[in-house]
Structure 1
Amino acid sequence: MNHPAYGQDPRRPAGAPPEPAEPPGTRPPCDPVAAALGNASLLGIGYLLLGHWRPAAFAVIGTGGLLALTASTAGTWCEVLLLLWWAAGIAHGRLLARRRAEHGVRHGQRAGTLAVTVAVLLPAVLLRADAYGIEDRVNGARASGDCGTAVAAQGEVWFGHRLAGAPVVEPGDAVVEACHRLERAASTLAEAGRDGNTEDLERGFRVLTDVLGEPGNGRTVGAVLDAFLDGLPTEDSCDTADITGWLRDREPTRDVLDRAADTAARTEPAAALECGDDLMAEDAWQQARARYQHLLDEYPDHARTGEARGGVRKATLAIELDEVRRLVENTSDAESGYCDTPAGYSGAPPYRKGSHRALFLGDTEYTGRLPGSWRTGDPAEAALVVCAGTAENGAAVETCSYENEKSAYLPHRVTFHKVRIPLKVYELRTGKRVGPRQVQIGGGSCPRVLHYEYYGTYDYGPGDQLVSTAGSDVRDAFRPVVRR
């Protein structure tokens, strides 16, 4: 068996001419440590020292891609991949340099590559350390409930921080986003505080609930809630009552938001009472009574329930009086308005023994002649409401004969009657009907001359006549009505 000559490549066929040796100086000599340090810069400097341009370009492109991926995803796995890429570049550069026929220690290369690597990595290290400091301030501010400081601290983050430590600064972005949502919630709650709009209130609390559902936001949510609650009571007592009523009725969630119910319990009673007083001043008596009654229903043991009961009483009287006045204004005769649908006014003077002032409605031909001390035009001052119907013939008093100008043998016989006035008398305090159903007014009869007019051809005479009444006659007739 033939064996290859010593030094001959066993893979080459026997007798083939030897490959020409690489001439010295074709590739630059390189220190393996310098190559490793050069690649540690992540810029492929070690490959450039070895004269490998393509690997150097690939190293730069790969490094840029990994940095961009890390900055965009802020994933820890990206940083691990970048670290492996960095270690692989160092190892590969050192391995390639050691395979060189000409390699050795070159202090100049080492110093240069070390300077470049330090110039690249040191800022990255410092930026990452600064990123940790920023996030510490962000987390500290959030822990103390200070969204403003947290947002300001996160505002110091720039692109360099994201390249050097994206996973470090990325949680701060979530803090800022939550703070912006809380800022919008605070604005919505402030708007609700200005106009008492419970829809705004509900929207604001919905945002607080959503942000509170994300870990770590308890203090910042609590700060926004406390700022809103510190603004209670508002300048408008009725707005405050609406807001606190909504807070009281809110379903408990067993978290920081339940503090709102405690504030409502402290604030709502006074707000409801003051709102009732304000509505009374505006003549909104129905709404005022509802506010007073709400206080009595929801806080029956509160120290100011006595004031609320007084408010209910006062509002009720005002409502009753307003209804009486409306009915009186709509009264045109004894069959309309108050006379048709009487209503009670609890504040009216009681109907008891003695004389009473009355509100006279209906036909005022005779009641208008009563003394002013008996009458009043204000329902608030009346004890009675007297509805007078149209005067008609009452009891016959006397029948007289009068000479007939047409025929002396056929005199006119005229019967004179008392003035009967149908009455509806109501006790204003209760609206119940009391007193007489009518009065009859006496007066003079059979005057010497009786003037009358007739129409047509035949004179049938004046017919029955009412007595002529004096003021004293009218007073005597109506005295039993106004005196009990």
Structure 2
Amino acid sequence: MYEPTSEAAGHPPAQPRDPVAAALGNASLLGLGYLLLGRRLLAAVNLAVTVVLVVVLTTVAPFLWFEVLVLGWWALVVTHGWFLARGDGANVGRQRMIALSVTVVVFVVVGLLRFDAGRIDDTIADARAEGDCGKATDALDGRWFGHRVANAPLVSGEQATREACRRLRTANGELAEALSGHFSKMAVAFAWFASVRQELPGHEAMAAAALGGFLHRLPTPDACTTSEIVDWLSEHASAGPVPERSAATVARTAPAAFLGCGDRMMAAKDWATARTRYQQLVDGYPADSRVAKAKEGVTKATQALELANVRGLLEGSTGTAPAYCDTPAPYSAAAPYGKGTNHALFYGNDGFSGRFPADWRASDAAQAVLVVCLGEAEDGTPVQTCPYENKSLPEFPTDVTFHKIAVPLKAYELRTGKLVVDTKVEVGGTSCPKVLHYRSYGSDLGPPPDTQVEASDADVRAAFAPIIQK
């Protein structure tokens, strides 16, 4: 019995369905297989899901497990396309050719991109091993979105190298400022090195290269800048990259830097810093050929500090006792107290010290042997008693006893700051003059019972000479 075809019945002919073409078309992940089957909605959904997966893969979840998820989606749409077309044995060559062509192009493009991503990854790996951030950055700059789509986990993992190089460039900038005298930048730079080591492992060679470039620039033209950097490296280098190279750089540059900085600080009269730098060379590098000069520097700096201290203690008027008389201090460059004229600095009791000859005096602590502190004059040994008229009772003369002039004296050897003389110097002179000049007070118009002799300059000098001239 004759049955009319769908065309004869007034319906359009059915679209041939080829399972192979549908599967191949869907293998492109572009929904082509669904289009060949006339399933436009499915094709749109397929394409939308693919776009979402690509976006997520390249932004949110660039991990291997997500690539497996994408592969699962690929297998699903291929299988689904095959089963949708199953049951019709028609072999439509044109559909297969279209599906195969598009899918092959997609696979070839993805394959080439994955290959190129691998090539770039090898270049980046070589750069990491060589410590070459410039080479690695150039390779990273050659990446584009297609590489990320083709191999998101690989490309994403390489971003650690970009970040490591960014941190190391920042560290380099901090080290450059340290070379200019901003020593606090050393700690900042080493903090960046530590962050690379702790958070971005695998970039140790790059960190070593970054620090190596800095070490190669030592010593700086300024010996004191180099000394500061060397001090910091000596204490902290073990926490940074290539500690052994840092230690070698310290050993290479420190002796000359310490000596040069000491000399510079001596010229600037910063004797404390100068002595510290010289002493660092003496203590840290005893076999270095510059140690003898550094020891001389230590001595000179110490003496300069002593002299500055002594001068400070001697500040004030010569008519009063300075702080030195209570807290003496040494100036080791001074000559020792001994034979000959011991030039001195005199303080207190100008009435006597002003009568000393000029050749006893030192103009400054740098030329002095002694510091002599004089007290107020007192009555010393009695030498003679004579009667003098008492105006209140003329018929009864008053006996007046004349005494040598006793002057308390302390003399310090400036070289050691030690007390070498502690005595009362007695100054002789004339006594019992025919007319005694005195001042009376109140109702008592008589002469004082005790008074001091009249001392000449020769008498004063004779009394003090044994202390000054040995």
TM-score by structure 2 length?
Answer: 0.85
Q: CA deviation at 1:193?
A: 4.5
Which residue pairs with 1:229 in the alignment?
Answer: 215
Pick one of 72, 80, 87 that aligns with 1:99: 87
Pairs within 5 Å for 1:7-156: 25-30=12-17, 33-71=20-58, 72-83=60-71, 85-86=73-74, 89-90=77-78, 92-93=80-81, 96-97=84-85, 99-100=87-88, 103-107=90-94, 109-114=95-100, 116-117=102-103, 120-156=106-142
Q: CA deviation at 1:364?
A: 2.0
Contact 1:420–1:441 (CA under 8 A) maintained in structure 2: yes
Contact 1:225–1:257 (CA under 8 A) maintained in structure 2: no
Which residue pairs with 2:158 in the alignment?
Answer: 172
> Can you list the C-alpha shifts for 1:142-179, whole angstroms capped at 9, x where unaligned?
23222233234323433332212212312211111222
Equivalents in 1 of 2:313, 2:63: separation in Å? 80
Equivalents in 2 of 1:458, 1:51: separation in Å? 147
Contact 1:382–1:428 (CA under 8 A) maintained in structure 2: yes
Bigger mean CA deviation after superposition, 25-34 or 338-347: 25-34
CA distance change for structure 1 residues 136 and 152 in 2, over 3 Å: closer, same or farther?
same
Q: Unaligned stretches of 5+ in structure 1? A: 1-6, 8-18
Contact 1:416–1:446 (CA under 8 A) maintained in structure 2: yes
Cα RMSD after superposing both structures:
3.4
What amino acid is the match of 1:429? R
Pairs within 5 Å for 1:59-458: 59-71=46-58, 72-83=60-71, 85-86=73-74, 89-90=77-78, 92-93=80-81, 96-97=84-85, 99-100=87-88, 103-107=90-94, 109-114=95-100, 116-117=102-103, 120-195=106-181, 197=183, 200-212=185-197, 214-234=200-220, 237-250=223-236, 252=238, 256-329=242-315, 337-405=323-391, 407-435=393-421, 437-458=423-444
What amino acid is the match of 1:61? A
Equivalents in 2 of 1:433, 1:54: separation in Å? 112
Q: CA deviation at 1:366?
A: 0.8
SS at match of 1:396: strand
Equivalents in 2 of 1:391, 1:158: separation in Å? 100
Equivalents in 2 of 1:223, 1:401: separation in Å? 103
Q: CA deviation at 1:348?
A: 0.7
> Can you list the C-alpha shifts for 1:337-362, whole angstroms capped at 9, x where unaligned?
22223222211112221112111122
Which residue pairs with 1:10 in the alignment?
Answer: none
Equivalents in 2 of 1:423, 1:133: separation in Å? 94
Q: CA deviation at 1:277?
A: 3.2
What amino acid is the match of 1:389? G
Bigger mean CA deviation after superposition, 32-41 or 378-387: 32-41
What amino acid is the match of 2:309? E
Point out the structure with max Rg over C-alpha: 1
Contact 1:333–1:389 (CA under 8 A) maintained in structure 2: no
Contact 2:211–2:241 (CA under 8 A) maintained in structure 1: no
SS at match of 1:167: helix
Q: CA deviation at 1:381?
A: 0.8
SS at match of 2:340: coil
CA distance change for structure 1 residues 49 and 432 in 2, over 3 Å: closer, same or farther?
closer
CA distance change for structure 1 residues 215 and 454 in 2, over 3 Å: closer, same or farther?
closer
Bigger mean CA deviation after superposition, 385-394 or 228-237: 228-237
Contact 2:22–2:32 (CA under 8 A) maintained in structure 1: yes
What amino acid is the match of 1:212? R
Q: CA deviation at 1:26?
A: 4.0
What amino acid is the match of 1:52? R
Contact 1:27–1:50 (CA under 8 A) maintained in structure 2: no
Q: CA deviation at 1:423?
A: 1.4
Bigger mean CA deviation after superposition, 301-310 or 406-415: 406-415
Which residue pairs with 2:469 in the alignment?
Answer: 483
> Can you list the C-alpha shifts for 1:273-303, whole angstroms capped at 9, x where unaligned?
3333344344443443333333322222222
Bigger mean CA deviation after superposition, 146-155 or 161-170: 146-155
> Can you list the C-alpha shifts for 1:302-354, whole angstroms capped at 9, x where unaligned?
22221222122122212322332232227888876222232222111122211
Bigger mean CA deviation after superposition, 58-67 or 364-373: 58-67
CA distance change for structure 1 residues 404 and 256 in 2, over 3 Å: closer, same or farther?
closer
> Can you list the C-alpha shifts for 1:432-480, whole angstroms capped at 9, x where unaligned?
3334723222333344433333232231224433333332222222221
CA distance change for structure 1 residues 473 and 87 in 2, over 3 Å: closer, same or farther?
same
Equivalents in 2 of 1:99, 1:436: separation in Å? 131
What amino acid is the match of 2:91? G
SS at match of 1:429: coil
> Can you list the C-alpha shifts for 1:48-107, whole angstroms capped at 9, x where unaligned?
122223432342234234323432322334334434544554455456546326x23444
CA distance change for structure 1 residues 251 and 41 in 2, over 3 Å: closer, same or farther?
closer
Contact 1:443–1:467 (CA under 8 A) maintained in structure 2: yes
Q: CA deviation at 1:252?
A: 4.5
Contact 2:255–2:281 (CA under 8 A) maintained in structure 1: yes
